[in-house]
Homo-oligomer: A and B are copies of this chain.
Amino acid sequence: MTEGARELPGTREAAEAWESLFRAQVALMRRFQRDDVWGDLSIREYDVLFTLSGCPDGTARLRDLGENSLLTQPSLSRMVERLEQDGLVRRGPVEGDARGVAVALTQDGWRVQREIGRRHVRTIRRLVGGALDAQELATLQALTDKLRAAQAGIPDESDA
């Protein structure tokens, strides 16, 4: 603490860590986007398929899909509509809640996700695995997992 400014402890550290995290994500994302592995769909659409592929039966509620996405609810709703027209997902009712929409991967959806994922993971290995060793990767994963998990416990506004 060499400055005289009455800065709350940890503010600079937090801001700089976030900026580094954000910039790293942007730099990698730019390269992933340029990568020629996405076929006909956008990286955001792939992300939805990927999320579904990690859900039981490749199925999730529209609402739950939105939790892991930066898209707004209307945008996600229309994206799923397009994915259904492309035959990659199917929309159906939710057991026990007539408001809900269940989104499920079709056979084609599984296949497309697997094919793109296989190519994509190769790029990840090259760009991420080529930058950090196994120990560093484990540490990075632990820290970002912790960072993400903690968000659930922090309220929207701090002014108690």
Contact = CB atoms under 8 A, between A and B. Distances in A.
B25 A21 contact: yes
A24 interface: yes
A128 B29 contact: no
Contact of A154 (B131, B151, B154): B131
A94 interface: no
B68 A147 contact: no
Contact of A11 (B27, B70, B125, B132): B125
Interface in A22-81: 22-31, 33-34, 68-70
Nearest to A13: B137
Contacts of A127: 150-151, 154
Interface in A90-107: none
Interface of A: 8, 10-11, 13-18, 20-31, 33-34, 68-70, 121-122, 124-132, 134, 136-141, 143-151, 154, 156, 158
Given A13-B129, A25-B25, 18 more contacts: A11-B124, A13-B134, A13-B137, A13-B138, A14-B125, A15-B125, A18-B124, A20-B148, A23-B68, A23-B148, A24-B148, A30-B70, A126-B154, A131-B154, A132-B150, A140-B143, A140-B147, A143-B143
